[in-house]
């Protein structure tokens, strides 16, 4: 008997993913408070492959909030806050089965510790989610996607403060209750393992306000995982129809050589990338994490109550996939780092292009967790050229996505339970890592530049018709 699947499941969820802070704009409207993304700055004096969010101190926060001559593109995004109905129609035109976006925490609780939620923010997302459903798409909603209220970083210490556990749990309970019956699929925290380059963006810990930044990061993410587990418990008890997921920034790191030292370093590196999903899907702290903390003089307070909370595990696993890297003994000893793989091509931003790595990772995660898997981000940032007739021939994007979807199909035939694929940034938006518009991912072009100049007009790229064909054929036609 042939037990090998022949392609994508009939109920496979095809769609795309965005984040509120990268496209909504309207950063100071309808009661929204300051959020971390509002101080993500675009700078044109940094090398293209060095553009990413770095550590932030309290001086930077204060100056960014007061600045009048600096560029913060996430404050205006692509004005999705006002154009979402038209934009969702364009996305539905590709045949999307699902659409992933996030709730900007500071629209619901402007300061994070507010006694009551902001009704205008709650109503906006209710209207948005209803519009997603109206257009035939299943919403998948991220609760925290780099949109922490900035007041939680200035009045507290972001996720390092245990008070934030209660603030976030209250926020989760508020949105679960408000959108029950409207949203089934939830991701509580986007790419929870990103505590390096996205440290402040993710955890809200100003580097000058703690004595030991590395310990503070791991304490902060521990607190965040406890909050996730508490929120998961609440959803399971009050809204059992909801499916609660956790998400990693995926990308296996390979050993740079066959040397046992490099192999062991790679094992240790990957363990600490999977640490977060091991906790949130298995419900307990792994021994290797305690060993890592001991070896690196990292101090994390883990209470018996926390360990009890963490037994409330997620229902599905999700991850983003953009690139892979390699590990040497030396890179591991230099802050558990991985380095660029010199044997495969890369994008202009230095992100390696490795479709086979996606199949490897899908198999690894399925073997490790035996939980349904959703690929909740995948795509390539590239410069697009608008021709004189308005056309945009993005064959490079089609080639990239085709190669990766071929490997997803192979993984499904390997027996991996992959249930959905979300192309990242199906409509052009502001880059997360570099805060620029010129790094484009979309099937839909938005006429805005890095400084917010342009008409905002939406145009369809060649990849739009290609992805529409892929969805219509349920992945059978990738040509």
Q: Which two tokens stand for residue 274?
A: 């999977």
Q: Rounded to 5 degrees, what are φ and ψ at 273?
A: -80, -35
Rounded CA separation 160/222 (Å): 9
Rounded CA separation 449/439 (Å): 10
Lookup result for tokens 């993005």? 394
List of residues 6+ apart from 109 with CB closer than 8 A:
33, 117, 118, 149, 167, 170, 171, 174
- The CB density around residue 22, as the number of other CB atoms within 10 Å, is 27
Residues annotated catalytic, as ranges: 377
Closest alpha carbon to 305 in 191, 166, 187: 166
Residue length of the chain: 479
Tell me how far CA of residue 255 lies from CA of 34, 265, 277, in angstroms. 42, 8, 21
Tell me how far CA of residue 287 lies from CA of 194, 229, 284, in angstroms. 21, 19, 9
Q: Rounded to 5 degrees, what are φ and ψ at 361?
A: -65, -40
Q: Which two tokens stand for residue 185?
A: 């699929």
Quote the distance between the C-alpha of residue 300 and its chain's center.
25
Closest alpha carbon to 154 in 280, 251, 61: 61
Contact indicator for 113, 152 with CB cutoff of 8 Å: yes
Going by their DSSP bridges, the two strands 458-460 and 138-144 should be labelled as unpaired
Lookup result for tokens 């390696």? 352
């Amino acid at each position: 008997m042939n037990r090998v699947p022949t392609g994508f499941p009939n109920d496979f969820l095809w769609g795309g993913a965005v984040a509120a802070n990268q496209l909504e704009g309207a950063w100071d409207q309808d009661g929204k408070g300051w959020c971390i993304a509002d101080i993500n700055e675009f700078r044109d004096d940094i090398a293209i492959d060095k553009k990413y969010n770095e550590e932030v101190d309290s001086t930077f926060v204060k100056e960014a909030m007061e600045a009048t001559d600096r560029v913060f593109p996430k404050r205006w995004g692509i004005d999705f806050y006002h154009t979402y109905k038209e934009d969702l129609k364009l996305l539905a035109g590709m045949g999307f089965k699902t659409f992933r976006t996030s709730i900007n925490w500071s629209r619901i609780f402007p300061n994070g510790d507010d006694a009551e939620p902001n009704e205008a923010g709650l109503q906006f997302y209710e209207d948005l989610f209803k519009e997603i459903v109206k257009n035939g798409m299943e919403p998948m909603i991220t609760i925290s996607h780099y949109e922490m209220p900035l007041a939680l970083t200035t009045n507290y210490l972001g996720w390092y403060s245990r008070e934030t556990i209660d603030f976030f749990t209250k926020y989760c309970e508020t949105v679960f209750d408000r959108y029950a019956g409207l949203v089934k699929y939830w991701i509580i925290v986007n790419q929870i393992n990103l505590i390096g380059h996205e440290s402040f963006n993710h955890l809200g810990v100003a580097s000058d306000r703690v004595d030991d930044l590395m310990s503070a990061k791991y304490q902060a993410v521990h607190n965040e995982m406890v909050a996730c587990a508490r929120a998961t418990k609440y959803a399971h008890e009050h809204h059992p129809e909801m499916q609660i997921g956790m998400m990693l920034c995926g990308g296996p790191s390979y050993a740079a050589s066959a040397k046992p030292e490099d192999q062991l370093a790679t094992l240790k590196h990957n363990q600490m990338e999977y640490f977060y999903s091991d906790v949130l899907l298995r419900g307990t702290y792994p021994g290797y994490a305690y060993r890592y903390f001991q070896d690196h003089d990292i101090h994390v307070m883990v209470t018996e109550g926390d360990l009890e909370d963490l037994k409330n595990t997620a229902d599905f696993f999700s991850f983003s996939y953009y690139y892979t890297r390699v590990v040497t003994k030396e890179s591991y000893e230099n802050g558990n780092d991985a380095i660029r793989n010199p044997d495969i091509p890369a994008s202009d931003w230095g992100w390696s292009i490795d479709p086979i790595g996606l199949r490897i990772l899908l198999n690894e995660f399925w073997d490790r967790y035996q939980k349904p898997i959703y690929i909740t981000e995948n795509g390539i940032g590239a410069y697009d050229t608008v021709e004189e007739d308005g056309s945009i021939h993005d064959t490079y994007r089609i080639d990239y996505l085709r190669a990766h979807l071929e490997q997803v199909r192979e993984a499904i035939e390997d027996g991996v339970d992959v249930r959905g694929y979300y192309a990242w940034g199906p409509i052009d938006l502001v880059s997360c890592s570099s805060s620029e518009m010129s790094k484009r991912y979309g099937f839909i072009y938005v006429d805005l530049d890095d400084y917010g100049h342009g008409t905002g007009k939406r145009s369809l790229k060649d990849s739009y018709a290609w992805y529409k064909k892929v969805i219509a054929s349920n992945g059978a036609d990738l040509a």
